[in-house]
Amino acid sequence: NAGVTQTPKFQVLKTGQSMTLQCAQDMNHNSMYWYRQDPGMGLRLIYYSASEGTTDKGEVPNGYNVSRLNKREFSLRLESAAPSQTSVYFCASMWDRAPYEQYFGPGTRLTVT
Amino acid sequence: RKEVEQDPGPFNVPEGATVAFNCTYSNSASQSFFWYRQDCRKEPKLLMSVYSSGNEDGRFTAQLNRASQYISLLIRDSKLSDSATYLCVVNRNTGNQFYFGTGTSLTVIP
């Protein structure tokens, strides 16, 4: 039982390049999330998916797109990376009942130069 | 105004001390409340949910004050292993959006 997995763990991009961050969970959770964490800002929600086939914007969606490929997988795409997108990205999933605990992946550390 | 605000600290306390963190939230419609723990360069993990009547888990006690819109976490008999950043998290139950505070840093000193 791997929980939530993310790939890659580290990535360096040049401005304007594109990439997709992958996330998968094996806990049969309906809800999945993408966050970014920056110093002094806390975790901020980029996008979330309440169920397979649905996605919704969070606090900071600009510059990102997501795909809920199936119940297990939720990917985050940067179409044209900018230095402001340098951050640590966390994927999370959650079972839709109390205690509403989110399980996080280990994170992807992205640097855009 | 931020959804969730925390004192960033750092809090440096000796082993065995009692330490308390507070967190305030801005939206009175918030429904669910949590404390997460995050170790350096690791993912956050749920420490405990916070219930209206307050709840305790071993050395940890969480309280909720809806009237004043704040949440607290009390750690008794601090251990070296308690050193981490503690994140206050609030959920409005609308669209499953969770709001995280910036975290409070705790270092327990031998």
> How buried is B80 (Cβ within 10 angstroms: 0-12 exposed, 13-18 middle, 19+ buried)?
exposed
Q: Give chain A positions within 8 Å (CB) of B10.
A: none
Residues B13 and B5: beta-carbon distance below 8 Å: no
Of B32, B49, B96, the CB nearest to A31: B96
What pLDDT does residue B70 have?
93
Task: Give the separation between CA B19 and CA B61, rounded to whole angstroms.
Answer: 11
Q: Which residues pair with B98 in a beta bridge?
A: B91
pLDDT of B89 over the 90 cut: yes
pLDDT digits (tens, 9 = 90+) for B36-80: 999 998 999 999 999 888 899 999 999 999 999 999 999 999 999
Of residues A40, A39, A99, A59, the one with CA closest to residue B3: A59
Q: Give chain A positions within 8 Å (CB) of B103.
A: 42
Of A45, A56, A105, the CB nearest to B43: A105
pLDDT of B7 over the 60 cut: yes
| Average pLDDT estimate for B11-34 | 94
* Whole-number average pLDDT of chain B: 93
Q: Report the helix count and the strand count for chain A, using DSSP H and E.
A: 0, 11
- Put simply, whether A44 touches B (Cβ < 8 Å) is yes
pLDDT digits (tens, 9 = 90+) for A67-109: 998 999 999 999 999 999 999 999 999 988 877 889 999 999 9
What pLDDT does residue A1 have?
67
What pLDDT does residue A40 have?
80
pLDDT digits (tens, 9 = 90+) for A24-74: 999 999 999 999 999 888 899 999 999 998 999 999 999 999 999 899 999
Q: Give chain A positions within 8 Å (CB) of B43.
A: 90, 104-107
Q: Which residues pair with A49 in a beta bridge?
A: A32
What pLDDT does residue B94 have?
57
Residue in this structure with the two tokens 């929980």, named with its chain if needed: A3
Residues A59 and B98: beta-carbon distance below 8 Å: no
- B98, A90: Cβ pair inside 8 Å? no
